């Protein structure tokens, strides 16, 4: 049984609604949480929520594109390490982020995190 580092499931529809209602403020919090959670589950030290958010802010969103790709790879690696069915969605995440659909990337990544938490 793999360690989940105390990570809990998040309700995706509620997170999306809160992100819209708060004009994106909750989306920032969700971005940081999803990044931290995926970093812990995949043991990827590049995924620190605060650092990734700051780099995305400083680079006017360019780092966010790379972040989306990293999240897809990290999700695949974490699920593979847990012997769960996995597919590499890094290119899909990348394309969604390029087209400004970052909220969908957050939701997909959260779904992957929820799947891993449920598996244990």
Q: pTM for the full model?
A: 0.93
Mean pLDDT of the region 33-53: 95
Mean pLDDT of the region 78-104: 96
Contact 48, 56 (CB under 8 A): no
pLDDT by residue (tens digit) across 51-81?
999 999 999 999 999 999 999 999 999 999 9
35, pLDDT greater than 70: yes
Place of tokens 């969103």: 61
Classify residue 32 as exposed, middle or buried by CB count within 10 Å of its CB (0-12, 13-18, 19+).
middle
18, pLDDT greater than 60: yes
């Amino acid at each position: 049984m793999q360690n989940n580092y105390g990570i809990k499931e998040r309700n995706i529809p509620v997170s999306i609604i809160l992100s819209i209602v708060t004009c994106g403020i909750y989306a920032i919090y969700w971005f940081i949480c999803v990044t931290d959670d995926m970093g812990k589950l995949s043991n990827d030290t590049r995924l620190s929520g605060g650092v990734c958010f700051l780099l995305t802010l400083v680079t006017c969103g360019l780092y966010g594109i790379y972040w989306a790709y990293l999240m897809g790879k990290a999700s695949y690696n974490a699920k593979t390490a847990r012997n769960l069915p996995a597919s590499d969605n890094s290119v899909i995440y990348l394309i969604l982020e390029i087209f400004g659909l970052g909220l969908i990337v957050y939701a997909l990544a959260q779904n992957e995190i929820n799947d891993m938490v449920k598996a244990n």
